[in-house]
């Protein structure tokens, strides 16, 4: 599960979901094949020419501080999205650790410095970082304070909420690393690719209603995304309607009920790949109370995207959007 946006949003609703009506327990069998597999790759694509940091720099941090960065020799990004940005800027060889959500291939062998989704200050400091990058939802606060108190420059980047945040996040990370020109190049490349994907949406297509479900069968967690889930911007960019948001769900997530799904009436369901596997694939998903009665459930129309990229809002977001477009309109193009 993505640490920065989704983990924070879910914290307040997991306990409620565990006891909600219609959210019975579940095992984690091997998934039956999804209706259409995720198309998101598990590698990042660095810029052609690796950036060379020009330091020191003093930059603003999202927590209101001014931080001076003197070295980018040993970088610890504390989210998968921030790791993607650093690696894509061409500075992956300077990264000495990763968050559990940095699942792409180039970061796979790095030591993990988070436990569940909490940062271990001791693990971070043991690697002698010269720069730590965090998001405004990174925690616990005590761990962040411990890293700062040890004298390590720590820059906080605002958490991503939608597609409009992609460019500013790239700029923030590039500025902290002393590579603003590379940041501009990456931002422009990402914007061009997102625009190219949007052009592939069939002009004649009806706007499908898509419900974002967060499911974890092993923990009996079954949630329906609303306006603040983080998925709305992607769905709308793909020419779809966020069914949860459209049905009146203004917060992030709410436990799935038959009534909530009936109100959302999705034509398709968006899930994370691991979540789909955890409930036994599409066969298991449609057994969740209320799912089979929706148009999406009746048609078994399920869209899946890898957990590690779906809500990252970083350099691979164009690939996420392309996957959504292909899965929603593939037969119409």
Segment 297-307, tens digit of pLDDT: 999 999 999 98
Using pLDDT thresholds of 50, 70 and 90, give the confidence band for residue 72: very high
Q: pLDDT grade, residue 203 (50/70/90)?
A: confident
- Global pTM? 0.85
Mean pLDDT of 288-304: 97
**Is residue 13's pLDDT more than 80?**
no
Give the pLDDT confidence score for residue 42 in this predicted structure. 85
Least confident of 14-18, 38-42, 236-240: 14-18
211 pairs with which residues across the strands? 269
Statement: residue 36 has pLDDT above 80: no
> Average pLDDT in the 227-250 region?
95
Q: Is the pLDDT of residue 41 over 70?
A: no
Least confident of 18-22, 119-123, 151-155: 18-22
pLDDT higher than threshold 80 for residue 81: yes
pLDDT mean over 205-214 = 93
Q: Check whether 102 has a pLDDT greater than 80.
A: yes
Q: Does residue 17 register a pLDDT over 60?
A: no
What is the mean predicted confidence (pLDDT) over 107-113?
A: 96
The mean pLDDT value of the chain amounts to 88
More confident residue, 110 or 116: 110
User: What does the pLDDT look like over 154-189, one tens digit per residue?
Assistant: 999 999 888 999 999 999 999 999 999 999 999 999
| pLDDT, average across residues 322-332 | 87
Give me the mean pLDDT over the 123-128 stretch.
98
- Report the pLDDT value the prediction gives residue 308, as an integer from 0 to 100: 83
pLDDT at position 290: 96
Q: What is the pLDDT of residue 258?
A: 96
pLDDT, residue 48, reads 95
């Amino acid at each position: 599960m993505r640490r920065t946006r989704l983990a924070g949003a879910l914290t307040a609703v997991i306990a409620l979901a565990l006891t909600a009506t219609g959210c019975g327990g579940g095992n984690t069998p091997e998934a039956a094949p999804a209706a259409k597999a995720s198309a998101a790759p598990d590698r990042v694509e660095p810029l052609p020419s690796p950036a060379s940091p020009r330091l020191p720099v003093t930059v603003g941090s999202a927590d209101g501080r001014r931080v001076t960065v003197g070295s980018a020799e040993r970088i610890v990004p504390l989210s998968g999205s921030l790791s993607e940005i650093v690696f894509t800027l061409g500075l992956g060889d300077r990264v000495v650790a990763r968050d559990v959500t940095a699942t792409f291939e180039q970061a796979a062998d790095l030591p993990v410095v988070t436990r569940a989704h909490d940062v271990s200050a001791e693990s971070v400091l043991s690697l002698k970082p010269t720069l730590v990058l965090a998001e405004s939802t990174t925690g616990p606060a005590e761990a962040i304070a411990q890293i700062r108190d040890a004298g390590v420059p720590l820059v906080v980047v605002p958490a991503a909420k939608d597609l409009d945040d992609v460019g500013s996040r790239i700029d923030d990370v590039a500025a902290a690393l002393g590579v603003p020109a590379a940041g501009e190049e990456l931002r422009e490349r990402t914007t061009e690719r997102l625009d190219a994907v949007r052009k592939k949406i069939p002009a004649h297509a009806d706007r499908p209603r898509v419900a974002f479900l967060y499911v974890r069968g092993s923990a009996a967690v079954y949630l329906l995304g609303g306006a603040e889930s983080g998925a709305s911007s992607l769905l709308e960019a793909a020419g779809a309607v966020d069914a949860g948001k459209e049905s009146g769900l203004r917060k992030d997530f709410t436990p799935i009920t038959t009534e909530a799904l009936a109100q959302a009436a999705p034509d398709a369901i968006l899930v994370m790949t691991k979540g789909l596997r955890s409930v036994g694939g599409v066969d298991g998903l449609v057994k969740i109370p209320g799912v089979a009665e929706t148009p999406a459930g009746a048609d078994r129309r399920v869209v899946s995207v890898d957990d590690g990229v779906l809500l990252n809002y970083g350099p691979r977001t164009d690939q996420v959007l392309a996957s959504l477009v292909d899965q929603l309109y593939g037969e119409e193009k």
